[in-house]
Amino acid sequence: MAQPIPESHRDILEKKSLAHLATLMPDGSPQVTPVWCDFDGVHVRVNSARGRRKDRNMRRDPRVSLSLCDPDNPYRYLEIRGQVVEIDPIGADLRQHHGLLSQQVGAGRVLGQLGVEGEFLSRWPMAAA
């Protein structure tokens, strides 16, 4: 059963923190990718492009782990483990992708690739590790 994120660490999800998403390769070895993420109160959301390694890994095996360090104290962190419950090609267009970037790096700065086909949204329930 999923455990809620402790109130003592929920603020890390609201800060400008680069997360590290761990997925499983076909041979079972871990693969870790830095990602921007957000939290809707129930699910963590990650945006990527169809066909990338993390996309292929999550479609094959939905088990994931996400680690975020507190940008104000690198010895304080949050690890979230769970399973992808939805990959939504409609809900994750470039507006959502650039909304994440704007939230994390500041409005007016555009990073990443524009016009990438197959943007998707991966979501999973919160579970503190």
CATH code of the domain covering residue 104: 2.30.110.10
Least confident range from 16-30, 34-48, 69-83, 100-114: namely 100-114
Average pLDDT of the residues of the chain:
74
53: in domain? yes
124, pLDDT greater than 80: no
Task: Tell me the C-alpha distance between 63 and 75, whole Å.
Answer: 25
63: containing domain? 10-125
Domain count, the chain: 1
Query: Residue 43 phi/psi, 5° resolution?
Result: -120, 150
Task: Tell me the C-alpha distance between 50 and 69, whole Å.
Answer: 27
2: in domain? no
1: in domain? no
4: in domain? no
Least confident range from 28-37, 43-52, 110-119: namely 110-119
Greater confidence (113 vs 103) lies with 103
Greater confidence (30 vs 2) lies with 30
pLDDT at 90: 62
Rounded percentage of the chain residues whose pLDDT exceeds 90: 26
Token pair belonging to 110? 């555009």
